[in-house]
Chain A
């Protein structure tokens, strides 16, 4: 589906079509530190965890932008309802769906709000919901993403400093069947186990993932919500936070499971959006990120690898392998330990070693496609001056 771009959320009039969800009574003290000490208790075993644990509430509104998500929205809502920490509100933004998305959500007793017309993007739908939020914290989650039963609790506990405005978790694909899903599976295991942990250690996670992040509502409202000026609103939001002197946290134990693109058609759309989004953010924040130590380094190195290394990978290696020696083809696998080691470390801890091992070739394919799409995006954004402005869903 193609979202039509850019409506101003504040001008839209709301239409609350169902409010059958009754917020639970609030606790006297719902601060993250209080809940960290009261709700997080040791348990006898994992299987009885959900049943034995006394449920606590937190002042969080969960917003779920949805457009034609009837196949997966029920899983998402059920996952939210079975969290160890109960959110005060769950709001689904039915962004003009033509299927049964809204009806399914209503049957699960969550609030459904409908903008007067399709907002044009996920950010647009989230901004529409922002006007309905009156809790101190907002959890943004994609309609195709399920959570570990304690994911919200873990994120919420990390909101323990005033300056922390966003907290994100570990992302693992829900389905790992096709070549593209397998490639993405390895990519996430590698990136979240090694890169993101280091970024987090230096207090600058590159992005608070759009598919699952907890925000301070005050901050969201202060910056005008999710920006529509780039195709990667999560990156924009994160980098803006750093420039304002705010902090973003990464909690590896808070795990979410989104559905990733299952074929080339959808993967291409997603990678294209990410590539254009990254370039647009670098253009937009180029001066601002120069003021942020570590962030400027990782963005610079990422720019280099995504552009120069991609050119090398896609042109220089094949040319040298033909004109000089076929041994240059080994350049495609020489960095294998960089991918394999962190991937297998995480996969082993999850009991998924074989799945990860057999998925590594798929990742090698995915990254070739990723680099080609990035170069195409670079050419369009910087040379042709044709920025991507239409939001297209990745599945």
Chain B
């Protein structure tokens, strides 16, 4: 069951980040939990898909840029972030948005937990 726009938006970016975290989480679990076996197959397959997606994005960007003979990245303020390649700006914006949204929900969760525990104490 998918609602709205499956595949588009910051959701995709979120899942890519979750995939990037997987190997580190696996290493951590392998080191800290004696019975835990590193799930190579799962981690490798998801990392492969995520890598394919990222390569696909770079490929489609290059292809369309060549096809339309223009830089497809947002033209605004590229020069102000001199250390980044121009095509990374949309990614940076999406990432900032994602981080903002996740921080907001974590703050909400924290406030709710505080209220919850306060009401339990009463």
Contacts and interface: CB of A to CB of B under 8 A. Distances in A.
Given A291-B113, A297-B105, A370 B4 contact: yes
Interface string B50-64: 001111110111001
Interface in B39-53: 39, 42, 45-46, 48-49, 52-53
Contacts of A301: 9-11, 14, 98, 101-102
Interface stretch (A44-52, A157-165, A215-223, A303-311): A303-311
Interface in A332-388: 333-342, 345, 363, 367, 370-371, 374
Given A301-B101, A342-B49, A187 B5 contact: no
B7 A190 contact: yes
Contacts of B48: 345
Given A291-B109, A296-B109, A201 B5 contact: no
A195 B16 CA distance: 9
A339 B2 CA distance: 13
A374 B6 CA distance: 12
A296 B105 contact: yes
B22 A201 contact: yes
Nearest to B68: A327
Contacts of B39: 201
14 contacts: A187-B6, A197-B46, A201-B18, A232-B1, A287-B112, A301-B102, A305-B9, A306-B3, A327-B68, A338-B53, A345-B45, A367-B8, A370-B3, A370-B5
Contacts, number: 148
Interface of B: 1-12, 14-15, 18-19, 22, 39, 42, 45-46, 48-49, 52-57, 59-61, 64, 68, 70, 72, 98, 101-102, 105, 108-109, 112-113, 116
A307 B4 contact: yes
B64 to A, nearest CB: 6
A194 B49 CA distance: 8
Contacts of A232: 1
A309 B18 CA distance: 20
A209 interface: yes
Contacts of A207: 1
A365 B42 CA distance: 31
Interface SS majority for chain A: helix
A264 interface: no
A274 B98 CA distance: 25
A277 B1 CA distance: 10
A302 interface: yes
Contacts of A336: 56, 60
A274 to B, nearest CB: 5
A290 interface: yes
Contact of B8 (A187, A291, A335): A335
A296 B104 CA distance: 11
A374 B60 CA distance: 28
